[in-house]
Amino acid sequence: MDNFRCAPSDGRDLVRHNPDEEPTGPALLALEDGTVLEGRACGAHGEAFGELVFNTALTGYQEVLTDPSYAGQAVVMTNPMIGNYGITRGDDESRRPFLQAFVVREMCRYPSNFESVESVPRFLRRHGIVGIEGVDTRQLTKLIRTKGALRCVVSTKETDGGKLIARVKKSPSMVGADWASRVTTDRHYEWEEGLLTGNPPLKMEFPAEPKVVVLDFGVKYSILRCLREMGCRVIVLPADATAERVLSLKPDGILLSNGPGDPEPVDYAVKTIGTLLKSKIPMFGICLGHQLLSLALGGKTFKLKFGHHGSNHPVKDLATGKVEITSQNHGFCVDLDSLPDEVITTHVNLNDGTSEGMAHTRLPVFSVQYHPEAAAGPRDSRYLFKRFGELMLKRINGRAPKGAATRGEI
Amino acid sequence: MPKRTDIKTILILGSGPIVIGQACEFDYSGTQGLKALRDDGYRLILVNSNPATIMTDPELSDRTYIEPLTPEVLENIIKIEKPDALLPTLGGQTALNLAVALSEQGILKRHNVELIGAPLETIQKAEDRQLFKSVMQDIKVGIPKSLVLTDISELNSAARELGFPIIVRPSFTLGGTGGGIAYNLDELRDRAHSALEASLVKKVLLEESVIGWKEYELEVMRDSNDNFVVICSIENLDPMGIHTGDSITVAPAQTLSDRQYQAMRDEAKMVVSAIGVETGGCNVQFAVDPATGRRVIIEINPRVSRSSALASKATGFPIAKFAAKLAVGYTLDEISNDITKKTPAAFEPSIDYVVTKIPRFAFEKFGREFPLDTAMKSVGEVMAMGRTFKESFQKALRGLETGRAGFEDLGAGAKKRVETLTPEKLLRNLALPYSDRLFYVREALRRGLAPREIADITGIDAWFLNQLKDIMESEADLSEGKLTAERLRAAKRMGFSDTQIGRAIGKTENSIRLLRKKLGVLPSYKRVDTCAGEFEATTPYFYSTYDDENESTPSNSKKKRKIVILGSGPNRIGQGIEFDYACVHAVLAMRELGFETVMINCNPETVSTDYDTADRLYFEPLTFEDVMGVLDLEQPEGVIIQFGGQTPLNLTKKLAKAGIKILGTSPKSTDIAEDRRRCGALLKKLGIPAPDYGIAKTLPEAKKIARRIGYPVMVRPSYVLGGRAMEVVYDDASLKEYGGRALAAATHHPELLIDRFLSDATELDVDALSDGKNVFIGGIMEHIEEAGIHSGDSACTLPARSLTPSQRERIILYTGKLAKSLGVVGMMNMQFAIKDNVVYLLEANPRASRTVPFISKATGIPLAKLAAKAIAGVSLTQLLPKKLLERGYPEIPFTATKEVVLPFLKFPGIDPMLGPEMKSTGEVMGIAKDFPSSFVKAHSASGVSIPTSGTVFISIRDEDKSAILPIAAQLRQLGFSLVATRSTKAFLGRHAIEADRVYKLNEGKPDVLDLIKQRSLSLVINTPSGKRAKTDGFAIRRTTLELGIPIVTNVNSCQALVQGIATVRGRKSLEPYALQDLYRELDFTLPKKVVLK
């Protein structure tokens, strides 16, 4: 049963095929700036449009493939060797891939790993994701670096690059589109699983199991796993759930999840968050959740030239001066100066100085632009879940939590 | 935290001579560290015994001591220089061990010196296996089951508990010396015994076997604010059980999922924090069970290492430089990323290519192969980058210079031998790893064995095997149908060389090259930028591939002249760090003259492949194809080949033929010098005496020549590299035996070169430079060992001790004549021998030699730099003061002695004897006011202690008997007692020298071996007599060596040693000298700045 609102054919035109056949044949990648690269098919056959972004993570292509935040995008992996360990059980970040197309330098057809259950080409074909390999992914990365994220098409059907360019130019932009509604769950559910083996401990001691409501704008399973691992009850609601619906569940904490695209069109969620802020329930925003929270607090967001997509971004925690290596995936960013005075910046990106985290001085509310759940990426920032847990713990203990930004208290 | 201001003077330790397991990567890291700390304004004191290093260049430190790395010497230097801090983490295990000794002996505390980089407790926790184990247990990090053994009697119970196979590791050694794998109780006893001997603390770790597991390394950094980053992950193609240094390794790790990798990262973070690596680089090794994913930590090194040098070159992240910065208080976020300039060093590099490292072995020097195990045996390595594993792997294989142009069979003979192996033998060759195992893997794949099956037998992950299979399948496809541009490009993207493609379709390398150029299939160059293209980078560090976009845009400025310098490729015996030193100097000199310099090299251990060294760096194999790729793009005015040893020299003809201008001495002159016939004729014309010689194509011819010249003769196949496969032959029978073998082995030029062997001659090495008009001798070095021992293995001294003025004049005369008639521009190395006051020229090579750095350090004249400038067109009259040039050579008011280090301990069962085949891996220098003191310094720097009392065993061949008498007498006079076998005792007795008798082997008990094993001897003098010496002598020499008892195997060294003993006896220590002070005593100063007119 597929309960997703995003139909597989959204921006994609697929050819019927058997997933067990080896993907073969030529494929083309055309960009809105007129660049056309020739390669070979390494996924589903067909044609898919999207915004081309690069990801610099050396490991974790499976997490990238299944991260709903990539909805609407075609992803170029800068690591040229993709698929080496195949698809491993338990490492999907959502129920299926949401990205439009996958662009790699070399796709491995003979994976090797004791946890591997399937090859990536087979996975792509099974899920109808168009893939292209054998293109100069570094050239593409540099192109995106200089020109910004570009609209593109990957096709295994069309052999005329000129025609593809014309079609790309007509394809819709990510800006101004509500992508969260296309990837969120359409019904609420409870999440039961903790973290998989090979994760550091995250267990916390609570007098009673805290209840966390997660607003799903395209949530990654790892966020849910982290919360569950801490010892929380985890209830996931669709992106358009109302504040009343959230509050009716009497949550001890609210998590605003990550998700794809531009935050501004997700205005219904901004409104919901605005109402929830008044409840003074501890709130933790991640990525798109962070952006939506800033909008609800009266801030503004803007589109980055080519975004942050990778596992090696240094972020400084301004309270401790410590640097954490973070997992990032966002094309939009919060404008620091647009936020009210009662919101302080807690984290900054050392590469480009952009805002990476904020906390409210009066409310138990904080958020980060990056991914503390990691997956893919280093787990240096998992402490933020504990910080969220501490706020909930205070609430459970009957001490009204003060502002999340109060140092020493968090 | 910004840098510390409470520290002003820092003492930095180098790693000493190049040995197996500790090579020039520490010159690279030390040099980086020095530069970084100098930029921060610290006063730097450097101590290293190895003169063939860039780090000992006097410009890099305030005070440079080329002195033995011993606690006594260091205490003396500390007393003189009064450093505030000691930084030991850049000088390998040697420096770390010294830091421990200095701390434990209270020397640091006594003189108020702070250990920075790694506190004592950290070093101990990382190095002491038992402490390490308990720390790992505390933080619940998995480790293999293990036991510590301090006594051999505990073996049986240990074996029961762990089960075979068992890994044996001594505590506190380097390169895994003395370790090994034991499959049964007998082997365990042997290994444990030698491990106990090798361990500095007499502790041995016995460990559960994780042989066959997957092996990984993480190169990490941590700063004082607990910031932690992984610079690079490395996956070994060869499984656990083969030392990492001997394994093919790949970066980044290829077969780990993100969850598996992050778990490893988390663990590494916990471990470095628990061990207390406060600041700097550290490497963490893991083993992973391929079937279950169970992960155990194997070891950590709280210092920069061979792997960190590799990781630095692989990612562009300068670990050693930043480690030095962190040690003085900076945090990672305060240091900017060299490459992007805009982003901080606190990040984890992402790379968009694959790096493969392949070790280079030198077993041919020792006459037999050794199976690979946990004790490192390789002498060098090559690194290659490609966009895919297949590309980088094949590039690395051809960069190795072992005759393979990629993943292919070696020659028809070897191919046939492998193809006719029975299945059982093939399986055995797969299971028991030797350095050529890959080629059995190739055969197994060819026979259709499934990658999974081969993985089970070899422990090589099926992923790698499938990659190799892909390469083979593509190779087979090549021969079918026309080679279109598309098919050619596909093959190039898999790393196939032109030679390989040519072989597959029956064409020459050149025809493939031409076809490629015609079809436009040209290499593109990608930048190494630490960030996978995410940020803009300007660092001119490139590798080739066959992708669409080329990122290297040569400047081609009309204003700046451009030259390319070819490096020396992977280290091997006979071609090591000395050549990299010369290449780096050539680069520096050309930059000083305002040239744009381009370096091509593939050795990750070197300073030349630091992207800071040349203006542009291409990390490429030194093959004709790869070099031409760069030259076609860069279009330099010429190429300098004379500093990189044999590697670039071998390319000369092809490059010249392709229209490339070879700068300096013309290739023609090089040819003449190498061709014995033409060179012989030239010497005759010039009136330069040379030993009589002849060239034979058959054995009877050889015999005739030998008889004409008179035995003994030196025999070698013509056209071999650097004295390989030479032998001194004393009679017809051995000529037949050796000559037959040599003729059979030489497939291309079945010719024997037979020279008169000048026995008991004094040998001299001369390095000279010329601008084409003027000739200057950098130094005349006198060998300490007699003729017949490879010059690379001889100790030598500068100035020459026994040279008469008339002999010196003749050397100057001959050198001048030869250099001028060959038209030498740049360097020339010559070997002379003096017998009966005749000066013979043995050999001349118009290129930089192994001794260039030694002479440069001893005289303060940077020969390679001057030679490079001469090549650029600067006259020697500009480069040298008039008086000095007129004299023709420098006079120094002190003595420098070079001593070599030999790798015999790493090769069990090898006779530790010197001969015409070079075997040493490195060198040290001793510098003092007189020869005996400099000899003692050099000797002790090479790791041999100088006995000052005790018992000396003397066993000598008849020829040496008269020469030993004064030595024996002096030893008695110095208070030593002597022991000898019956006949020697009698001989000594006849000359009134008292000695005790000891039994020969099998003569009675206790025999001489018992004496050695009881450690009752303080010195063994054993001069082997030709072939007969194999039996008794071998056992004596080997045992002496293994027990670390000083041994001399020739009379001349013995003389020098006894002189040295006489000099140091009764003196507490020898005075250390800083080069900067010594140079002030010279009677010349070189012009500071030279411009090209």
pLDDT for res A277: 97
Chain B residue nearest residue A309, CA to CA: B534
Asked if B233's CB is within 8 angstroms of A54's CB, the reply is no
Compute the distance between CA of residue A61 and CA of residue A168 in angstroms, rounded to an integer. 25
- pLDDT value for B238: 97
- Written as one letter, the residue type at B672 is I
Q: How close B492 gets to chain A, by Cα (Å)? A: 13
Distance CA B358, CA B791 (A): 29
Give the range among A281-290, B511-520, B730-739 with minimum mean pLDDT.
B730-739
**Cis amide linkage into residue B290, ω under 30° from 0:** no
Q: Where are the beta strands (DSSP E) in B931-1071?
A: 951-955, 977-980, 996-997, 1019-1022, 1047-1048
Identify the pLDDT of residue B745.
67
Give residue-wise pLDDT tens across range B748-807: 667 888 999 998 899 999 999 999 999 999 999 999 998 888 889 999 999 999 999 999
State the average pLDDT over residues B993-1012.
Answer: 90
Q: What is the pLDDT of residues B1073-1084, one digit of tens each?
A: 999 999 999 999
Contact A79 B350 (CB under 8 A): yes
- Among all residues of chain A, which has the CA nearest to that of B534? A145
CB contact under 8 A, B348 and A198: no
In this prediction, residue A238 carries a pLDDT of: 97
CA torsion through residues B1026, B1031, B1036, B1041, sign? positive
Tell me what pLDDT residue B747 has. 61
Q: Would you state the structure tokens that stand for residue B1022, as one six-digit string?
A: 């054993």
Of the candidates B292, B332, B388, the beta carbon closest to that of A114 is on B292
Search chain A and give the residue with CA nearest B270.
A200
* Residue A373 designated active-site: yes
Pairwise CA distance, residues A112 & B256, whole Å: 9
**Closest CA–CA distance from residue A76 to any residue of chain B (Å):** 12
B515 class by beta-carbon count within 10 Å (0-12 exposed, 13-18 middle, 19+ buried): middle
Say yes or no for a CB contact (<8 Å) between B533 and A145: yes
Q: Which of B485, B486, B509, B505 is nearest to B497 (CA)?
A: B509
Is B576 within 8 Å of B380 (Cβ atoms)? Answer: yes
User: What pLDDT shows up at residue B86?
Assistant: 98
The minimum CA-CA distance between A256 and chain B, rounded to whole Å, is 24
Average pLDDT rounded to a whole number, residues B1054-1068: 87
Least confident of B223-237, B245-259, B718-732: B718-732
d(CA B1011, CA B1014): 5
- CB–CB contact B533 A110 (8 Å): no
**How high is the pLDDT of residue A2?**
36
- Of B982 and B556, the structure prediction assigns the larger pLDDT to B982
Question: How far apart are the C-alpha atoms of B96 and B87, rounded to whole Å?
Answer: 9
Contact B266 A379 (CB under 8 A): yes
- The residues that bridge with B978 in the sheet, in sequence order, are B952
Contact B570, B608 (CB under 8 A): no
Residue B99 host element (H or E): helix B92-104
Strands laid side by side in the A283-286 sheet = A189-191, A233-238, A211-216, A253-256, A283-286, A365-368, A355-360, A343-349, A300-317, A323-335
Q: Which of A111, A310, A378 sits opposite B262 (nearest CB)?
A: A378
* CA gap B1069, B824 in Å, rounded: 44
Cβ of A141 within 8 Å of Cβ of B535? The answer is: no
Between A72-76, B201-205, B391-395, the lowest mean confidence (pLDDT) is in: B201-205
* Average pLDDT for A348-365: 94
- Percent of chain A with pLDDT strictly greater than 70: 96
Share of chain B above pLDDT 90, in %: 75
Contacts of B292 in chain A (CB under 8 A): 114
Contacts of B233 in chain A (CB under 8 A): 58
Return all residues near B21 (Cβ < 8 A) that are at least 6 apart.
B93, B174, B175, B176, B177, B245, B306, B376
Residue B166 has pLDDT above 70, yes or no: yes
Q: Which residue of B has its CA nearest to A57?
A: B350
Mean pLDDT across the stretch A316-329? 94
Q: Name the burial class of residue B1093, with classes exposed (0-12), middle (13-18) and buried (19+) by CB atoms within 10 angstroms of its CB.
A: exposed
Side-chain half-sphere exposure of B411, counting CA atoms within 13 A: 9
* Interface touch B258/A141, C-beta < 8 Å: no
Chain A residue with Cα closest to B351 = A79
* pLDDT for the residue B658: 95
Q: Specify the pLDDT at position A409.
A: 38
Whose tokens are 């400099």? That residue is: B934
Q: Mean pLDDT, to the nearest integer, of B102-121?
A: 96
In the predicted structure, residue A88 carries a pLDDT above the cut 50:
yes
Residues 6+ apart with CB under 8 A from B951: B976, B977, B978, B979, B1011, B1016, B1017, B1018, B1019
Note whether B940 and B16 are within 8 A (CB): no
Query: Which of these, B639, B691, B1003, lies nearest to B831 by C-alpha position?
Result: B691
**Inter-chain CB proximity A351 and B258 less than 8 Å:** no
pLDDT bracket for residue B561 (50, 70, 90): very high
Tell me what ipTM this predicted complex has: 0.96
Q: How far apart are CA B229 and CA B320, in angstroms?
A: 14
Q: Indicate yes or no: CB of B257 within 8 angstroms of CB of A113.
A: yes
Q: Which amino acid belongs to residue B365? A: K
Catalytic positions of B: 129, 169, 202, 215, 243, 283, 285, 299, 301, 303, 716, 722-723, 763, 831, 843, 845, 850
What average pLDDT does this structure show over B626-637? Answer: 97
User: Is B350 close to A312, i.e. CB distance below 8 A?
Assistant: yes
Q: Do B333 and A325 touch (CB under 8 A)?
A: no
Q: What is the Cα–Cα distance from B586 to B643, expressed in whole angstroms? A: 7
Residues of B in contact with A147 (CB under 8 A): none
From the CA of A247, how many Å to the nearest CA of chain B?
35
The DSSP symbol for B661 reads: P
Query: Quick one: pLDDT at residue B557?
Result: 76
Closest approach of chain B CAs to the CA of A396, in angstroms? 31
A4 pLDDT exceeds 50? no
Predicted pLDDT at B1046: 92
Tell whether the torsion through CA atoms of B335, B341, B347 and B353 is positive or negative: negative
Least CB-CB distance to A196: which of B259, B343, B353? B259
Q: What is the mean pLDDT of residues B591-599?
A: 97
Distance from CA of A369 to the nearest CA of B (A): 17
pLDDT (0 to 100) of residue B277:
86
- Mean pLDDT, chain A, rounded, equals 92
Q: Can you give the pLDDT at residue B440?
A: 94
Order of strands, sheet of B838-845, starting from the edge strand that comes earlier in the sequence:
B838-845, B825-835, B762-771, B775-783, B796-798, B895-901, B922-928
Element (H, E) at B297: strand B295-301
In chain B, residues with a C-beta closer than 8 Å to the C-beta of A145 are: 533-536
Among B168-177, B287-296, B1027-1036, the least confident range? B168-177
Which band of pLDDT confidence, cut at 50, 70 and 90, is reported for residue A7? very low
Residue A332, min C-alpha distance to chain B (Å) = 17
Give the 3-state secondary structure percentages of chain B, helix then strand then coil, rounded to 5: 40, 20, 40
C-alpha span between B1047 and B865 (Å, rounded): 38
Give me the pLDDT at residue B173, please: 59
Residue of A nearest to B460 (CA): A112
Tens of pLDDT, residues B916-961: 889 999 999 999 999 999 999 999 999 988 899 999 999 988 888 8
- Kindly tell me the number of DSSP H helices and DSSP E strands found in chain A: 10, 22
Catalytic annotation on A6? no
Chain A and chain B share a number of CB contacts under 8 A equal to 179
CB pair distance less than 8 Å for A85 and B353: no
Extract the runs of DSSP E, i.e. beta strands, from B361-443.
380-386
* Best residue of A89, A112, A133, A382 to probe chain B, by most B CBs closer than 10 Å: A112
**Angstrom distance (rounded) from CA A381 to CA B706:** 78
Q: How far apart are CA B591 and CA B561, in angstroms?
A: 10
Residue B1052 CB contacts under 8 Å (≥ 6 apart), including other chains = B784, B785, B786
Confidence of residue B416 (pLDDT cuts 50, 70, 90): confident
Q: Where are the beta strands (DSSP E) in B690-783?
A: 693-696, 713-717, 727-729, 752-756, 762-771, 775-783
Give per-residue pLDDT as tens, B246-296. 999 999 999 999 999 999 999 999 999 999 888 889 999 999 999 999 999
Q: What is the mean pLDDT of chain B?
A: 92
Q: Encode pLDDT of B661-709 as tens digits.
A: 999 999 999 999 988 889 999 999 999 999 999 999 889 999 999 999 9
CB < 8 Å to A63, chain B? 258
Any residues with CB less than 8 A from the CB of B744 and at least 6 apart, and which? Answer: none
Supply the pLDDT for residue A8. Answer: 42
Could you tell me how many residues make up chain A? 410
Output the CA angle B751-B757-B758, nearest 5 degrees.
Answer: 155
